[in-house]
Amino acid sequence: MASMNFIDVKGAGGAEQLIMATGDVPACRPGEVLIRVLASGINRPDILQRLGFYAPPADASPIIGLEAAGEIVALGAGVDRWSIGDRVCALCNGGAYAEYVAVPAGQCLPIPKGLSMLEAASLPETFFTVWSNLFQRARLTAGDSLLVHGGTSGIGVTAIQLAAASGVRVFASARSAAKCRACEALGAERAIDSTRDDYVAEVMALTDNRGVDVILDMVGGDYLQKNIACAALDGRLVSIAFLAGARVELDMMPVMLKRLTITGSTLRPQSVEAKARIARELLEHAWPLLASGAIAPQVHASFALAEVAEAHRLMESNQHVGKIVLQVAT
């Protein structure tokens, strides 16, 4: 176990910059577990890191990869919750595109009953992100209404399912009729084709001109002012990405008149304690839904670790519905 295969980046740029390399197995620091990775998930921040726009935190692995599923093979000092041999999925601070990854113990979760390793690897990044932004920051509760942009992304399919299972009225936007149908199959009451229809007018009509309580946005750009227009009184707007641009001009008058809260967050820089709290809440509230089949992972495609460039190209094509996963080992 002295060395391992991992995916390295020759230099900032396209997917062809991703290459297989060999290096040392990471050390297991106090409070961490070492996982033999069987599968790891692909996420949009991985693309940004490959392009050179998303540097890892100073104390994190420089290897790309934010989520993994596998088997614990070593325990750091002070770890008493887990045992060697436990099968877990984990939110990683980096390093998941590899045969081994060291992860803070509090960021690990048991693999829900009935799920494969590939399915389990698709869970952590999206579930941690959705739970922390919708249920912690935006205080989404049963009886609320929610608009999810990018409804067929990994984040989108998780948000739709978790919200619908929690008694929330869910709407979504997506960029084709087929993707809209996928959103509705996952639990959205109505999905709006944003390439064809005015989602503001549609949402206002669907809510009798009231608007929605919470909006989860990963588009940014001119969506911000449109989101304000279809938000309800005391609405909460949560931004987690800005594919259409981070800089916008904002009219504050409707924000004030509607008493809106505009917030956002990134997950990776948060403390170990904050991520462990999210994990505990997921274990209590979301994991039973996965175990019962009330919600389910949505894996669009899987690739061998050596095919990681193709996996990145698929994500960049925006043709997927749900998650793209790497099969690291069997």
CATH topology of domain 3-123+268-327: Quinone Oxidoreductase; Chain A, domain 1 (3.90.180)
Closest C-alpha among 324, 136, 153 to residue 238: 136
Residues contacting residue 265 through CB under 8 Å, at least 6 positions apart: 132, 133, 137, 238, 240
Contact indicator for 295, 275 with CB cutoff of 8 Å: no
Three-class secondary structure assignment of the chain:
CCEEEEEEECCCCCHHHEEEEEEECCCCCCCEEEEEEEEEEECHHHHHHHHCCCCCCCCCCCCCCCEEEEEEEEECCCCCCCCCCCEEEEECCCCCCECEEEEEHHHEEECCCCCCHHHHHCCHHHHHHHHHHHHHHCCCCCCCEEEECCCCCHHHHHHHHHHHHCCCEEEEEECCHHHHHHHHHHCCCEEEECCCCCHHHHHHHHCCCCCEEEEEECCCCCHHHHHHHCEEEEEEEEECCCCCCCCCCCCHHHHHHHCCEEEECCCCCCCHHHHHHHHHHHHHHCHHHHHHCCCCCCEEEEEEHHHHHHHHHHHHHCCCCCEEEEECCC
Distance CA 39, CA 77 (A): 26
Ranges in the chain, pLDDT < 50: none
* Residue 246: closest CA among 271, 266, 275: 266
What pLDDT is attached to residue 1? Answer: 57
Query: In this structure, what token pair is assigned to residue 40?
Result: 């790891």
Instruction: Please report, for the chain, the start and end positions of each structural domain, with discontinuous segments joined by +.
Output: 3-123+268-327, 127-264
Instruction: Output the pLDDT for position 324.
Output: 98
User: Tokens for 148?
Assistant: 């999810």
Give the pLDDT of residue 330.
87
Which residue from 130, 151, 294, 135 is spatially nearest to 213, judged by alpha carbons?
Answer: 135
pLDDT tens digit sequence for 145-204: 999 999 999 999 999 999 999 999 999 999 999 999 999 999 999 999 999 999 999 999
Q: Tell me, what's the pLDDT at 143?
A: 98
Reading across the β-sheet that carries 231-239, which strands appear in turn?
190-193, 169-174, 145-148, 212-217, 231-239, 261-264
Q: Enter the pTM of the model.
A: 0.96
Q: Which residue has the tokens 């205080």?
A: 139
Tokens of 287: 């994991």
What pLDDT score does 2 carry? 85
CATH entry, 127-264, from 3.40.50.720, 3.40.50.300, 3.30.420.10, 3.40.640.10: 3.40.50.720
Distance CA 62, CA 99 (A): 15
CA proximity to 269, closest of 76, 93, 64, 71: 93
Quick check: 323 and 42 in contact, CB under 8 A?
yes
What's the angle, vertex CA 277, arms to CA 289 and CA 119, rounded to 5? Answer: 40
Tokens for 279? Answer: 């994990």
